[in-house]
A and B are shown apart, each in its own frame.
Chain A
Amino acid sequence: MELYRLTGHELIRKIENKEASSQDILSALTQRIKAIDAKVNAYVRLSGSPEHSLPSLDQTSILRGIPISIKDNICTQDHNTECCSKILEGFRPPYDATVIGKLKNSGALILETKTNMDEFAFGSSTENSCFGPSHNPWDLECVTGGSSGGSAAAVAADEAVWALGSDTGGSIRQPAAFCGVVGLKPTYGRVSRYGLIAFASSLDQIGPITKDVRDCATLMNIISGYDPNDSTSVNVRVPDYTQSLVNDVKGIKIGIPREYFVEGMDEEVKKRVEEAIGQLRALGAVCQEVSLPHTEYAVPVYYIIATAEASSNLARFDGVQYGLRTEAQNIIDMYKKTRDKGFGQEAKRRVILGTFVLSHGYYDAYYLRALKVRTLIKQDFDKVFAEFDCIITPTSPTSAFKIGEKINDPLKMYLSDIYTISVNLAGLAAISIPCGFTKKGLPAGLQILAKPFNEEILFRVAHTYEQNTAWHLQKPTF
């Protein structure tokens, strides 16, 4: 099998056995990117070969010089990081994100040519990128999901060994589901946000997107941990997550929330998820129906809180310190014209909505109320986790939709986040893994949720399911 088809752990084995060098791997990956990225558009600002950091000289490092691909909202020192937005054109951060530093210290080769995303992570399809959408490797006319669509597509098409994405309302898990790969959103506070260009500071997390569960655990070991530069990171010990890769779910109690199997969800996706639950039962897990009664309020709560926080976080993009500037006679006009020219439609929509819900006269009715309903949503999960080890749901109500299908209906687009959003609101950890295909050959994703700082159960259940199925071995025909 060609080197670019292999997982991170398989490549580490090849290097250890002296069957391949990190240079061979970079070469193979570069050739692969050159051969297919014109069709997939997973990478942005790609000109010929991808740029990369200098290879580590340490022959014994954990990651052995294996390349990793990075979403365009994670800062890499002196290398363009633009959130796929015109307003950050040409921006070169003066520092590395903490996760980048950790990866470098573990011997990773950082691909500095970044992966595509919805502008500022606003979206569920990667259609809001100023570089155009990425194309789903399973059907090029379909979206990759978003906002980490470039990272998910690159991993699915073997144009990346593994990648980092970010997740605020599902932006790692949903594209992972649409592209048939693994994506994990860590517990809020598990991974440092220092160097992640902020969307919603109480919801954002960086996480891995990988070809299998073992690779996900390997990356989580490296990127997790307390960071004094991120005052919202938590000082909780990082276990060796690879120790949780145990093929055994006997006696594990899994809650299946009835509110997540709704009218109007794709029948094929529903069937694949039900079959997966059946398989876990056959492997000895105890699966029972539970209720998360405030589920229907999660999307409205999110679109108040996330847009409010986004309006605050995006205030800094005003033409003063970095990026695009449109000249004007006075400073207010400069701000207004710069932001008009630099922000895409979705960014404008969210900033304006966010400003509105925080403004005088509306704050109590919208923002404060949303924070209270957030408490109710969290309480629903606390009650279920008191009795159950984890929760299983579909990742998305549909498989990948066609490019252009939902882009003119923002509300319809927002509703595609219905199963992933509560996880960020409640600060939980969750993983999406492939669980089969629809009749049209599009991947379906299974989502597993755990209470905060219990990623271990996610790895155990995900690994068991994966090892007893073969979805992760299927590749799109490229």
Chain B
Amino acid sequence: MSLNKDTIKQVAHLSRIHLKPAELEMLSGQLKDILDFIDKLKKLDVANISPTSHILAINNVFREDVPKNSLPADKALENAPVKQGKFFGVPKIIE
């Protein structure tokens, strides 16, 4: 599996991580090695195997839709780098 630099740039964009050119170069090489290693999984016949997305036999863990005590806004904002009233302050999202 070849992971070319354009693909890595695209994936870095999806990951919302800015990569410097030297990092892109190094990552290219390392990810190629890792993916080559991971490719051994292709040897296996998994046609009739169901995926294990969760190891425990529990599902539909619900609770009653009744309001309980939750984190007050001021506590939730305590660590915010920028806050405006009861909101997290961020740069412009919509042009």
Chain A residues in contact with chain B, CB under 8 A?
Answer: 90-92, 94-95, 188-189, 202, 228, 231-232, 234, 294, 296-297, 299-301, 303-304, 311, 315, 318-325, 327-337, 339-340, 343, 345, 348-349, 351-353, 355-356, 359, 365-366, 368-376, 378, 410-411, 414, 425-427
From known contacts A325-B81, A348-B23, A348-B27, infer whether A234 and B58 are also in contact, taking CB-CB under 8 Å.
yes
> Would you call A331 and B93 a contact (CB within 8 A)?
yes
| Residues of chain A within 8 A of B3, CB atoms compared | 356
| Residues of chain A within 8 A of B41, CB atoms compared | 297, 300-301, 304, 369-370, 373
Closest 3 CB pairs of A and B: A371-B51, A427-B55, A322-B79
| Residues of chain B within 8 A of A348, CB atoms compared | 17, 19, 23, 27
From known contacts A349-B31, A353-B31, A373-B44, infer whether A331 and B17 are also in contact, taking CB-CB under 8 Å.
no
Q: Which of B14, B38, B71 has the most CB of A within 10 A?
A: B38
Shortest Cβ distance from B44 into A: residue: A373
The contact of B51 among A189, A343, A368, A427, by CB within 8 Å, is A368
> Would you call A303 and B38 a contact (CB within 8 A)?
yes
Q: How far is the CA of A377 from the CA of B7 in the complex (A)?
A: 31
CB of B48 to closest CB in A, whole Å: 9
A and B contact pairs by CB, cutoff 8 A, 5 listed: A297-B44, A320-B88, A322-B80, A330-B92, A355-B11
From known contacts A355-B11, A356-B11, infer whether A303 and B88 are also in contact, taking CB-CB under 8 Å.
no
Q: How far is the CA of A343 from the CA of B18 in the complex (A)?
A: 11
Shortest Cβ distance from A307 into B: residue: B34
Q: How far is the CA of A291 from the CA of B51 in the complex (A)?
A: 22
> Would you call B11 and A352 a contact (CB within 8 A)?
yes
Q: How far is the CA of A23 from the CA of B13 in the complex (A)?
A: 53
> Would you call A92 and B56 a contact (CB within 8 A)?
no
The contact of A325 among B44, B75, B82, by CB within 8 Å, is B82
Once A and B bind, how many residue pairs between them come within 8 Å at the CB atom? 162
> Would you call B37 and A300 a contact (CB within 8 A)?
yes
Shortest Cβ distance from B54 into A: residue: A202
| Residues of chain A within 8 A of B66, CB atoms compared | none
CB of A119 to closest CB in B, whole Å: 14
> Would you call A92 and B79 a contact (CB within 8 A)?
yes
Q: How far is the CA of A234 from the CA of B54 in the complex (A)?
A: 13
> Would you call B46 and A369 a contact (CB within 8 A)?
yes
> Would you call B49 and A372 a contact (CB within 8 A)?
yes
| Residues of chain B within 8 A of A371, CB atoms compared | 51-53
| Residues of chain A within 8 A of B11, CB atoms compared | 352, 355-356, 359
Q: Which of A189, A336, A343 has the most CB of B within 10 A?
A: A336
| Residues of chain A within 8 A of B12, CB atoms compared | 352
Residue B86 interfacial (CB < 8 Å): no
> Would you call A375 and B88 a contact (CB within 8 A)?
no
Residue B91 interfacial (CB < 8 Å): yes
Please report which residues of chain B, range 1-22, place their CB below 8 angstroms from some CB of chain A when the two chains form the complex.
3, 7-8, 11-20
Shortest Cβ distance from B15 into A: residue: A355
Q: How far is the CA of A103 from the CA of B34 in the complex (A)?
A: 40
Residue B65 interfacial (CB < 8 Å): no
Q: How far is the CA of A368 from the CA of B49 in the complex (A)?
A: 11
| Residues of chain A within 8 A of B18, CB atoms compared | 333, 336-337, 339-340
Q: How far is the CA of A95 from the CA of B63 in the complex (A)?
A: 21
| Residues of chain B within 8 A of A323, CB atoms compared | 79, 81
Shortest Cβ distance from A311 into B: residue: B15
| Residues of chain B within 8 A of A336, CB atoms compared | 13, 16-18
CB of B84 to closest CB in A, whole Å: 12
| Residues of chain A within 8 A of B8, CB atoms compared | 352
> Would you call A318 and B50 a contact (CB within 8 A)?
no
CB of B95 to closest CB in A, whole Å: 8
| Residues of chain A within 8 A of B71, CB atoms compared | 94-95
| Residues of chain A within 8 A of B33, CB atoms compared | 410-411
> Would you call A378 and B55 a contact (CB within 8 A)?
yes
CB of B11 to closest CB in A, whole Å: 5
CB of A73 to closest CB in B, whole Å: 16
From known contacts A301-B41, A348-B17, A369-B46, infer whether A375 and B34 are also in contact, taking CB-CB under 8 Å.
no
Q: How far is the CA of A369 from the CA of B53 in the complex (A)?
A: 11
CB of B22 to closest CB in A, whole Å: 11
> Would you call B49 and A375 a contact (CB within 8 A)?
yes
| Residues of chain B within 8 A of A325, CB atoms compared | 81-82
From known contacts A94-B75, A94-B78, A372-B49, infer whether A355 and B14 are also in contact, taking CB-CB under 8 Å.
yes
| Residues of chain B within 8 A of A353, CB atoms compared | 31, 34
> Would you call B50 and A300 a contact (CB within 8 A)?
no
> Would you call A329 and B91 a contact (CB within 8 A)?
yes
Q: How far is the CA of A225 from the CA of B69 in the complex (A)?
A: 22
